[in-house]
């Protein structure tokens, strides 16, 4: 198999499970750190001609991370495209199994079983209300029907815009402050919030800086995501 991945979490999953299958990945595919493949641009602006030149047997994509016109153009060029949809933790496991089989995995990988066991067991819980920004300028937060929202809900976090009409609503900063959450959760992707960029916008409200890979990626990181996220949440809300 020759596989091009347009999704960082799927890149990590395939690289760990089917070594050598990947021939191309996005500039944002940072795991594994030693991945040596052709880079084909970003998730939203892939270089389609470069992908076609790689002559892949399969391109793996996601309905949220990648643009439908790009995927349509690849199909028109004769490229087979597999598109995932992941909005819950259980859905992540079923979609990962589907992708890995399509990429040539002959057996279900041990890491996937370990991750499923982790999430089906007793999880660390953290009872709190939270606002979860994913962008600023303008401020955008987690809304309804998102994978990251489901991850947090399973850890006992009630994010305050979970029933909003939009999946990633734009909310003015004064309104976010006025909602008075117990906690503001600031991931380092897609916007790279840091200790100096984000917390200052929410004076008097505890802020938890968390790993975007553990909050939003569905792949090998799911094995340790509950522990890593719970540690970050508890540290911020002591």
- Single residue among 102, 119, 136 that ends a domain in this structure: 119
Helix (H, G, I), strand (E, B) or coil at 202: coil
- Single residue among 79, 97, 119 that ends a domain in this structure: 119
pLDDT of residue 238: 66
**Residue 201 shares a structural domain with residue 224:** yes
Judged by phi (left if over 0) then psi (alpha if -120 to 50, else beta), residue 41 lies in left
**Residue 34 shares a structural domain with residue 138:** no
Query: Which residue segment(s) compose the domain that 229 sits in?
Result: 128-236
**How far is the C-alpha of 219 from the C-alpha of 222, rounded, in Å?**
6
pLDDT of residue 126: 83
Going residue by residue through the chain (238 aa), what tens digit of pLDDT does each one get? Answer: 999 999 999 999 999 999 999 999 999 999 999 999 999 999 999 999 999 999 999 999 999 999 999 999 999 999 999 999 999 999 999 999 999 999 999 999 999 999 999 999 999 888 899 999 999 999 999 999 999 999 999 999 999 999 999 999 999 999 999 999 999 999 999 999 999 999 999 999 999 999 999 999 999 999 999 999 999 999 987 6
**Residue 10 shares a structural domain with residue 111:** yes
pLDDT of residue 9: 97
**Residue 54 shares a structural domain with residue 149:** no
**Residue 156 shares a structural domain with residue 134:** yes
Query: Within a 10 A sphere around the Cβ of 114, how many other Cβ atoms?
Result: 14
- Single residue among 100, 119, 138 that ends a domain in this structure: 119
**How far is the C-alpha of 213 from the C-alpha of 195, rounded, in Å?**
17
Tens digits of per-residue pLDDT, 22-35? Answer: 999 999 999 999 99
We report the CATH number of the domain holding residue 196 as 3.40.50.1980
**Residue 133 shares a structural domain with residue 200:** yes
């Amino acid at each position: 198999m020759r596989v091009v991945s347009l999704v960082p979490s799927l890149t990590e999953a395939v690289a760990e499970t089917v070594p050598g299958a990947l021939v191309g990945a996005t500039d944002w595919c940072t795991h594994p750190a030693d991945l040596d493949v052709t880079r084909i641009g970003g998730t939203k602006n892939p270089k389609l001609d470069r992908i076609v030149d790689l002559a892949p047997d399969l391109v793996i994509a996601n309905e949220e991370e990648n643009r439908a016109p790009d995927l349509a153009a690849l199909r028109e060029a004769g490229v087979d495209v597999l598109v995932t949809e992941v909005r819950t933790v259980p859905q992540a496991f079923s979609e990962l199994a589907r992708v890995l089989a399509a990429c040539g995995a002959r057996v279900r990988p041990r890491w996937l079983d370990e991750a499923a066991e982790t999430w089906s067991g007793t999880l660390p819980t953290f009872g709190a209300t939270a606002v979860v920004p994913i962008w600023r300028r303008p401020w955008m937060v987690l809304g309804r029907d998102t994978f990251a929202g489901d991850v947090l809900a399973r850890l006992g976090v009630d994010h305050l815009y979970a029933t909003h009409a939009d999946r990633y609503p734009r909310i003015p900063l004064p309104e976010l402050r006025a909602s008075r959450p117990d906690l503001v959760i600031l991931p380092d992707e897609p916007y790279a919030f840091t200790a100096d960029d984000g917390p200052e916008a929410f004076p008097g409200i505890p802020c938890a800086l968390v790993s975007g890979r553990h909050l939003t990626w569905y792949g090998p990181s799911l094995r340790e995501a509950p522990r890593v996220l719970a540690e970050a949440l508890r540290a911020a809300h002591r």
